Structure 1
Amino acid sequence: MKSTNLGQNKDVSKSYTYIYNALVVFTLLLIIYYVVTRAFPKLIPTEANYGEYYFPRAIWLFPHVVLGIVATLIGPFQFVTKFRNKYLKLHRRMGRFYVVSVTLAGFAGMYLAATSDISLPYTVGLFLLGVVWATTAIMAFISIKNKKIELHKEWMIRSYVVTFSFVTFRVVEDILMSFQVGTYFEVLTLMSWACWAVPLFIAEVFIQGRKIKS
């Protein structure tokens, strides 16, 4: 009977591993899509590239994009247990760099949102995105400084979920526009909230669900 249970547990463990690996690969593909199609082009801060809407605020948009790319690429490495255990000092340095990048990019994002003229809901949605983005990273840093490892992990999950919201925003925007769901401005307004609020809610259910199960 015990051997049967052990076999079942191994099968479940393998299934979880396959699902996890599939999610990692899918996430990496989305990151590559976002960085190549949306982020990298913004690294050339010319009027022709930025357009009339962004070019007057290029001094804010450029560091926002650069630091966002850094945070997006660094984040996944912070969750790999083998990497963290083998390169602990590098993990800590990358973590500090991540927090600084997110905090500065978050403040730049708040300015960009506050100076947007698309609509009030759009402005508020993106401004709060900047607030939540910076706050979750700072809370993760404060938690680890106070040696609250589990709290640090939880805040890092929340933080990277918000970091990933930029990928979510553009990917879902492209999908909705390709199917002609709503107008362009309606989609922008929707995603200014949905790109971070919905994933953050799902992450919170996951975080608290683990505690209930344990």
Structure 2
Amino acid sequence: MGGAVTALLLGPWQFLPRLRARRPALHRWTGRVYVPAAAATGVGGLLLVPVGLYPPFAPAGFAVLAVLTLVSTGAAVVAVLRGRVALHRTWMVRSYALVFTGVTFRLWLAVLTGAGVSFEHAYVPGAWIGWLLNLLVAERLILRHQRDV
């Protein structure tokens, strides 16, 4: 859980163009903290899958989320090490969108249970919808950025 909180707090700072331009060393060091935090989030998520609520569907959704978090963060690191900054940025948007699922999922649960939906009926689809919705938003942002460049 500490990895997710750390990644959630550091992620937005990574997307500030002025910070990247004026303080590139700070951007790199923040990224060096974000990456292991996001990796810990993915690994921790995989470790929780066997004890997840409402198997097999909800744990499967969280397992996919964990794997995608690890893959997207890893792809971002590989891209930047190869000097492919634009590709790195694209993968980091995806990584942060996946990390942000913790927030989206909890909002989903609050809204649906507040509207009278049972916890189980909110939880199971939320295990999938939370990260799918975040990735859709991320892809839209990526496409918009690519059109503007």
TM value normalised by structure 2:
0.92
1:209 Cα shift? 4.7
1:117 Cα shift? 4.5
In the alignment, structure 1 residue 197 sits paired with structure 2 residue 135: no
In the alignment, structure 1 residue 170 sits paired with structure 2 residue 117: no
The residue number in structure 2 matching 1:179 is: 115
Give the root-mean-square deviation of aligned CA atoms.
1.5
In the alignment, structure 1 residue 154 sits paired with structure 2 residue 90: yes
Residues 161 and 196, structure 1, Cα contact 8 Å, conserved in 2: yes
1:212 Cα shift? 5.3
- Cα separation, 2, equivalents of 1:83 and 1:117: 41
Residues 41 and 99, structure 2, Cα contact 8 Å, conserved in 1: no
Higher relative contact order (CA 8 A, sep 6+): 2
Quick one: structure 1 residues 213 and 67, their matched pair in 2 at CA, closer, same or farther if it must change by over 3 Å? closer
Structure 2's unaligned 5+ residue stretches are: none
Question: Residues 81-92 of structure 1: matches in 2 within 5 Å?
Answer: 81-92=17-28
Matched to 1:170, the amino acid is R
4+ residue runs over 6 A deviation: none
Structure 1's unaligned 5+ residue stretches are: 1-64
1:150 Cα shift? 0.6
The 3-state SS of whatever aligns with 2:54 is: coil
- Cα separation, 2, equivalents of 1:213 and 1:92: 25
The 3-state SS of whatever aligns with 1:118 is: coil
Residues 4 and 40, structure 2, Cα contact 8 Å, conserved in 1: no
Select the residue among 34, 37, 51 that pairs with 1:98.
Answer: 34
Question: Residues 50-69 of structure 1: matches in 2 within 5 Å?
Answer: 65-69=1-5
- Larger-gyration structure (1/2): 1
**Per-residue CA distance 1:26-71 (angstroms, 9 max, x = gap):** xxxxxxxxxxxxxxxxxxxxxxxxxxxxxxxxxxxxxxx1111100
Quick one: structure 1 residues 193 and 150, their matched pair in 2 at CA, closer, same or farther if it must change by over 3 Å? same
The residue number in structure 1 matching 2:79 is: 143
1:208 Cα shift? 3.0
- Cα separation, 2, equivalents of 1:88 and 1:209: 24
The residue number in structure 2 matching 1:128 is: 64
Quick one: structure 1 residues 206 and 117, their matched pair in 2 at CA, closer, same or farther if it must change by over 3 Å? closer
Aligned residue pairs, count:
149
Matched to 1:160, the amino acid is Y
Matched to 1:127, the amino acid is A
Residues 173 and 187, structure 1, Cα contact 8 Å, conserved in 2: yes
- Cα separation, 1, equivalents of 2:45 and 2:12: 22
Select the residue among 46, 52, 58 that pairs with 1:116.
Answer: 52
TM value normalised by structure 1:
0.66
Quick one: structure 1 residues 211 and 90, their matched pair in 2 at CA, closer, same or farther if it must change by over 3 Å? closer
